[in-house]
């Protein structure tokens, strides 16, 4: 009798536990539409995962019926909202559904992780949005799993698409795994802001088109000897070493054979070299000749260059290895991927093209150089018309206006057209490992050999997974 009661009790407990499980599950499901309806502010036109099957059924319906392209981004982006509005006005039978995460500063990291995991899962399950902003997503893994369309195939089939209208130096070099799986709608320039006057005064010639890290080290020594400033570059040894490793990636990492050679004499010598730079004052935060910088837009170029200590700051390309072709560095921004499982590929591609076109409003002050050359040129005209750009309120300029200088803009053109080395939007795992582990070396706590061995171990593990 007693055991029977216990049995009944136990099963009730189980039922309760299960009910609790499914209950919380249901609550989660219930929460989602509430959340998306919260996003559904006027103008943003945000749909939810719930409506997604519509896009699927849209393709099977006869012509003339409304089709839906779902476009998922992490941030809420005015630019995309604007694009949606304009595009829908021109194409009444297409609806662009923008999906994004409502996040705030405190939750960015957690939301970012959630965004990546849910998008990854949806993509792997063959659902997922039609278009995705890839900036915060692991594009390499997507390509490996065949989740994205190679946009080159869309370009080939598209008679209207004129390559010449775009910055082909960016298009050609934004490829991943042999194809253009993400369309960079815009990009940033990465380089050094250098004090041209002070460098000239020290009697040093800098040919930034083709300078290598060895040249940089040499120039650094010369500047230290003959120049008046206390440092050459404003950075930390860890960041500089990481930059150098990224540039010499192929000589340390053999991705194909899954071999790392961080325990080599070359890497140890590189570590020692950077440490010596620190000790000699080449790297330092006193008054340097160069600052590593990222130029976000033409307007940003005008002001940022003035925000450093000197009046005549020039943009210099970052040094690179002797083996690579000379040219500057860029970082893609607003890279759009097209879901390989999408039912509305043609429509989605058309929308991508629209976002790249001259129909999009562009301000030379907004973040990102546009991929479209004509849009860029128009922006420069506008910038020249403005005559001056207001500096950042909380920057060194304290909101003071900076005059737009024609000669400077001309120089910018060279860099925009000459940027051919992509810098990944997110740092690579190996770069992260190198940066983390060398901290103890640069602070003098560990020997170069010990640190190199650790990096070698972890990099090998990473490569062999």
Partner 1 sequence: MNKGKLQLQRWMRRDTAAALLFLAPSVIGFGIFYAIPFLLGIYESFTDRTMGGAFVGLDNYKELLDSGSFRKAAGNTLLFTAVGVPLLIVTSLGLAMLLNRSLYFRNGLRTAFIIPLVVPVASIVMIWQIFFDWNGTLNAWLNALGKERVDWLQSDWSMGIIVMMYVWKNIGYNMILFLAGLQSIPKDYYETARIEGAGRLRQLFGITLVYLTPTLFFVVLISVINSFKVFRETYLLAGDYPYDRIYMLQHFMNNMFFALDIQKLTAAATLMVGCIVLLVSGMLRVERRFREDME
79 vs 136, which CB is nearer to partner 1?
136
| Number of neighbours of residue 21 by Cβ within 10 angstroms | 10
| CA–CA separation, 301 and 430 (whole Å) | 31
Query: DSSP assignment of 299-341, as one string?
Result: HHHHHHHHHSSSSSEEEEEPPB-SSSPS-EEEEEEEEEEEBTT
Nearest Cα neighbor of 142 from 125, 123, 155 is 123
Q: How far is the CB of 25 from partner 1 (least distance, A)?
A: 10
- Toward partner 1, which CB reaches closer, 17 or 361? 17
Q: How many helices (H) and strands (E) does the chain have?
A: 18, 13
**What separation in angstroms does the CA of 44 have from each of 38, 49, 80, 302, 360?**
11, 15, 9, 32, 17
Least distance to partner 1, CB of residue 427, Å: 14
The residue (of 21 and 361) whose beta carbon lies closer to partner 1 is 21
Q: How far is the CB of 46 from partner 1 (least distance, A)?
A: 26
Per the CB < 8 A criterion, the answer to whether 245 and 252 are in contact is yes
Binding mask 370-409 vs partner 1 (x if CB under 8 A, - otherwise)?
----------------------------------------
Q: Give the contact letters, 428-457, x = binds to partner 1 (CB under 8 A), - = no.
A: -x---x------x----xx-------x--x
Nearer to partner 1, 218 or 443 (CB): 443
462 lies in the binding site for partner 1 (CB under 8 A): yes
354 binds partner 1 (CB under 8 A): no
- Give the whole-angstrom CA distance, residue 440 versus residue 86: 53
Site for partner 1, residues 6 to 45, rule: CB under 8 A: 7-8, 10-11, 14-15, 17-18, 21
Nearest Cα to Cα of residue 421 among 135, 173, 140 = 173
Q: Does 1 bind partner 1 (CB under 8 A)?
A: no
Nearer to partner 1, 313 or 459 (CB): 459
Q: Does 458 bind partner 1 (CB under 8 A)?
A: yes
Nearer to partner 1, 7 or 399 (CB): 7
| Residue 157 or 258 with smaller CB distance to partner 1 | 258
Residues contacting residue 85 through CB under 8 Å, at least 6 positions apart: 43
Q: What count of other Cβ atoms lies within 10 Å of the Cβ of residue 24?
A: 10
Taking alpha carbons only, the member of 66, 110, 4, 99 closest to residue 339 is 99
Nearer Cβ to partner 1 (67/458): 458
Residues contacting 414, CB < 8 A, separation 6+:
none
Q: Provide the H-helix boundaries in 91-212.
A: 108-124, 139-144, 151-157, 168-173, 196-201
CB of 24 to partner 1, least distance (A): 13
CA distance 247 to 213: 9
Among 230, 413, 427, 461, binds partner 1 (CB under 8 A): 461
Residues 139-168 that bind partner 1 (CB under 8 A): 141-142, 144-146
Rounded to whole angstroms, the Cα distance separating 115 from 118 reads: 5
Residue 144 bridge partners (DSSP): none
How far apart are CB 126 and partner 1 at their closest, in Å? Answer: 5
Structural tokens at position 240: 């500089």
Asked if 118 touches partner 1 (CB under 8 A), the answer is no
Taking the complex as a whole, the smallest distance from the CB of residue 260 to partner 1 amounts, in Å, to: 11
Q: Is 308 in the site for partner 1 (CB under 8 A)?
A: no
Compare residues 11 and 153 and give the one whose CB is closer to partner 1: 11
CB nearer partner 1, residue 301 or residue 442 = 442
Give the shortest CB-150-to-partner 1 separation in angstroms. Answer: 16
Please pick, from the candidates 90, 124, 200, 255, the single residue that binds partner 1 as defined by CB under 8 A: 124
Contact in structure between 334 and 186 (CB atoms under 8 Å): yes
The greatest distance separating any two alpha carbons of the chain, rounded to the nearest whole angstrom, comes to: 101
Give yes or no for residue 253 binding partner 1 (CB under 8 A).
no
Q: Which residues bind partner 1 (CB under 8 A)?
A: 7-8, 10-11, 14-15, 17-18, 21, 120, 124-126, 138, 141-142, 144-146, 258, 429, 433, 440, 445-446, 454, 457-458, 460-462, 464-465
């Amino acid at each position: 009798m007693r055991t029977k009661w216990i049995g009944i009790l136990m099963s009730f407990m189980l039922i309760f536990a299960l009910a609790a499980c499914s209950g919380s599950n249901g609550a989660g499901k219930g929460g989602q539409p509430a959340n998306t309806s919260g996003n559904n502010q006027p103008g943003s036109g945000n749909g939810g995962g719930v409506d997604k099957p519509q896009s699927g059924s849209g393709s099977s319906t006869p012509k003339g019926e409304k089709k839906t392209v779902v476009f998922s981004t992490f941030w809420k982006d005015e630019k995309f909202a604007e694009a949606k509005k304009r595009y829908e006005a021109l194409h009444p039978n297409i609806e662009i559904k923008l999906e994004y995460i409502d996040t705030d500063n405190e939750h960015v990291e957690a939301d970012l992780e959630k965004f990546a995991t849910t998008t990854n899962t949806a993509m792997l399950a063959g659902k997922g949005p039609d278009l995705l902003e890839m900036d915060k997503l692991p594009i390499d893994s997507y390509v490996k799993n065949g989740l994205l369309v190679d946009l080159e195939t869309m370009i080939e089939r598209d008679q209207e698409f004129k390559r010449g209208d775009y910055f082909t130096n960016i298009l050609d070099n934004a490829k991943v795994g042999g194809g253009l799986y993400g369309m960079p709608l815009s990009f940033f320039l990465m380089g050094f802001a250098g004090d041209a006057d002070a460098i000239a005064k020290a009697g040093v010639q800098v040919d930034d088109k083709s300078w290598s890290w060895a040249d940089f080290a040499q120039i650094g020594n010369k500047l230290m000897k003959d120049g008046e400033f206390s440092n050459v570059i404003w950075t930390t040894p860890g960041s500089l070493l990481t930059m150098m490793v990224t540039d010499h990636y192929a000589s340390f990492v053999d991705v194909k054979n899954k071999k790392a050679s961080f325990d080599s004499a070359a890497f140890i010598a590189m570590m020692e070299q950077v440490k010596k730079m620190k000790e000699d004052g080449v790297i330092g935060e006193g008054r340097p000749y160069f600052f590593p910088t990222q130029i976000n837009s033409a307007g940003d170029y005008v002001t940022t260059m003035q925000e450093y200590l000197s009046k005549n700051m020039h943009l210099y390309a970052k040094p690179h290895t002797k083996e690579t072709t000379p040219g500057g560095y860029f970082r893609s921004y607003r890279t759009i991927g097209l879901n390989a499982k999408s039912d509305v590929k043609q429509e989605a591609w058309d929308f991508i093209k629209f976002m790249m076109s001259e129909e999009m409003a562009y301000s030379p002050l907004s973040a990102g150089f546009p991929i479209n050359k004509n849009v860029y040129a128009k922006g420069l005209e506008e910038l020249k018309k403005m005559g001056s750009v207001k500096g950042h309120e909380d920057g060194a300029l304290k909101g003071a206006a900076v005059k737009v200088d024609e000669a400077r803009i001309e120089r910018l053109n060279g860099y925009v057209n000459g940027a051919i080395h992509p810098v990944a939007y997110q740092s690579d795992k190996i770069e992260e490992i190198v940066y983390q582990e060398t901290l103890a070396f640069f602070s003098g706590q560990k020997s170069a050999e010990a640190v190199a061995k650790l990096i070698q171990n972890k990099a090998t593990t990473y490569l062999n997974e």
